[in-house]
Structure 1
Amino acid sequence: MKGFHLLLNSVLASVDSARVISQDGPEGQAGYPDARTQPDQSGLCLASLDTSLTIQQANQEFFRQFDGSSEELCGRSFRDVVHPSVRQPLMRQFSHLIEGKHQRFVTPVIAVGADDSPFTVPLTAVSVRGGLPDTTAILVMMPATRGAEGARVVAGRKKILSEMDARILEGIAAGVSTIPLASRLYLSRQGVEYHVTCLLRKLKVPNRAALVSRAYSMGVLKVGTWPPKVVEDFVK
């Protein structure tokens, strides 16, 4: 782990504060890791990415969290360990980091751990410059949640929706009422209501508002996208 201590020292030298904080929150806000803690004793998953977001190095907590070895995870894209529903907005934040628009960011993400089990976790990413004008690497940190209480698990990437279900769910999430939705999808009003009833049953919710909320919490609808879009992994 000597390499990670050197990487952390580089990060600490490149930021104003040793503690990684949210731009909107106070220093030491609960849920965000202190970068001075020892990597293997702090319960932090740490990984070093290059500017193409390929995993170059990681600590043992990271390997345990994602149930892989160094050979299996190093060389893969960091995109592979996050849920499809959050990839687009997360990649946008990484782009801003690489372009120098931000020095760090903190955001909740849906990661995909062992056995493709998704879970939500706060992720911190810090630009590493090493004395150079441009970003040379990115350090990502997240608390280890494997076996921990409070890790909010979301649905796995099962193909639970038909193509029509997906289009109707997108329409409901966009606030489109039954008659315009029926016209858009060349269905009768009763046809739309039938699909809505099936969706309510599949996601085990009582009404349309709860349906949309549940779909976002499960990762079925993409985060940060308008108009709403269903993640393709969930469509049969």
Structure 2
Amino acid sequence: MILDRHFKRLSEGRCNRFAERVIGRGDAGLAFSGELTGIAVKDTAGELAGIVVLLRPDEDTRAPGADDEQVRPRERMLSKLDAQVLEGVASGASTVQLAARLYLSRQGVEYHVGLMLRKLKAPNRAALVARAHAMGMFTVGHWPPRVLPEYIK
């Protein structure tokens, strides 16, 4: 992927450094964003001796004591059907398309969307997808989005 190409260019001597925006998962399992910088280090003969990698997380913009609760990371909170509906919403499918794909009625799709809106405390579908992405629920770098198995009951 993109980082692979950057590291390959560093190791081949085609560049001396790179910086790339990344999304990662911290030791508590929470997703974070930041900047990853790679710098080629050369020995006295000018050969590559190593690569120094610096990961600088973005500052947390949330105020301490904010009343917006966070959902615990990697909590098995979605049924398999909920996960399929969320994947469909994230990929831009309409209610009718989801209903046909999942053999549900339109009301059934809306019911599952409503459940997830309440679980993730999101006001609408776009915010639902954004909240799920911020929690690290989706696979990174794949299309269409898939909910990670650790979030499915």
User: Structure 1 length as normaliser, TM-score?
Assistant: 0.50
Structure-2 residue corresponding to 1:106: 20
User: Does residue 1:120 correspond to 2:33, yes or no?
Assistant: yes
Q: 2:136 aligns with which of 191, 211, 219?
A: 219
1:95 maps to a residue whose letter is D
- SS of 2:84's equivalent in the other structure is helix
The sequence identity of aligned pairs, in percent, is 43
Q: 1:150 aligns with which of 60, 64, 70?
A: 60
Inter-partner Cα distance in structure 2 for 1:172 and 1:205: 13
Larger % of strand: which? 2
Question: What's the C-alpha RMSD, in Å, of the aligned pairs?
Answer: 2.8
Give structure 2 stretches of 5+ with no counterpart.
Answer: 63-69
- SS of 2:86's equivalent in the other structure is helix
Inter-partner Cα distance in structure 1 for 2:7 and 2:97: 43
Q: 2:54 aligns with which of 136, 141, 144?
A: 141
Q: Cα deviations across residues 12-62 of structure 1 (Å, max 9, x unaligned)?
A: xxxxxxxxxxxxxxxxxxxxxxxxxxxxxxxxxxxxxxxxxxxxxxxxxxx
Structure-1 residue corresponding to 2:3: 94
User: Does residue 1:174 correspond to 2:98, yes or no?
Assistant: no
Distance 1:108 1:99, change over 3 A: closer
Paired residues in the alignment total 139
Q: Cα deviations across residues 107-145 of structure 1 (Å, max 9, x unaligned)?
A: 1322312x444443322223445433xx66432112478
Inter-partner Cα distance in structure 2 for 1:116 and 1:221: 13
Structure-1 residue corresponding to 2:66: none
Q: Cα deviations across residues 178-203 of structure 1 (Å, max 9, x unaligned)?
A: 11111111112222111111110111
User: Does residue 1:228 correspond to 2:141, yes or no?
Assistant: no
- Conserved in 2, the CA contact under 8 Å of 1:123 and 1:141? yes
User: Structure 2 length as normaliser, TM-score?
Assistant: 0.73
Give structure 1 stretches of 5+ with no counterpart.
Answer: 1-91
Inter-partner Cα distance in structure 2 for 1:144 and 1:227: 27
